[in-house]
């Protein structure tokens, strides 16, 4: 795929992050409280003024491009629940994605979705376990 570096993929992003994505970004010196938000037990990239935290509005480029999240790397291949893997037509270069690239990136994205879901379950179990133990101790 050819990328124009237009920044549209960074606008109002709802990019889920895996633990590996978070660790990779933290190693660069970024604080997770700055670049992520957690909704329903899932960490997402934070948006600031309508764009991804890492989007540089002047250059219209990603400040962590070489280390960007895996979901960003496979874009414009996306997953739409109850539909399937597809190419995001909002990307002006969507038509340059080959069938081979669609298949390859869909497999990567499928594994990423499974990993994030497992991590979410572990996170929720941890929260539940701590909540349950805290309240059990208070009752005794």
Give the pLDDT confidence of 10-58 residue by residue, as tens digits: 999 999 999 999 999 999 999 999 999 988 878 999 999 999 999 999 9
Token readout for 111 is 């594994």
Measured CA to CA, the distance from residue 71 to residue 78 in angstroms comes to 8
Give the pLDDT confidence of 58-98 residue by residue, as tens digits: 998 999 999 999 999 999 999 988 778 999 999 999 999 99
pLDDT surpassing 60 at residue 119 = yes
Q: Give the residue among 127, 104, 106, 135 at the shortest CA–CA distance from 41.
A: 127
Q: Specify the pLDDT at position 89.
A: 92
On the question of a cis peptide bond just before residue 20, with omega within 30 degrees of 0, the verdict is no
Measured CA to CA, the distance from residue 76 to residue 66 in angstroms comes to 17
pTM higher than 0.85, yes or no? no
Q: Specify the pLDDT at position 140.
A: 45
């Amino acid at each position: 795929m050819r990328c124009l570096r237009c920044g549209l993929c960074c606008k109002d992003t709802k990019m889920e992050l895996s633990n590996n994505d978070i660790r990779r970004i933290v190693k660069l010196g970024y604080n997770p409280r700055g670049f992520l938000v957690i909704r329903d037990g899932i960490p997402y990239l934070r948006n600031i003024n309508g764009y991804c935290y890492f989007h540089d509005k002047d250059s219209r480029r990603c400040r962590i491009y070489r280390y960007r999240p895996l979901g960003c790397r496979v874009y414009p291949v996306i997953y739409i629940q109850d539909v399937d893997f597809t190419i995001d037509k909002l990307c002006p270069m969507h038509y340059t994605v080959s069938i081979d690239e669609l298949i390859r990136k869909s497999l990567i994205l499928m594994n990423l979705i499974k990993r994030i879901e497992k991590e979410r379950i572990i996170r929720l179990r941890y929260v539940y376990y701590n909540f349950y133990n805290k309240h059990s101790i208070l009752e005794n």
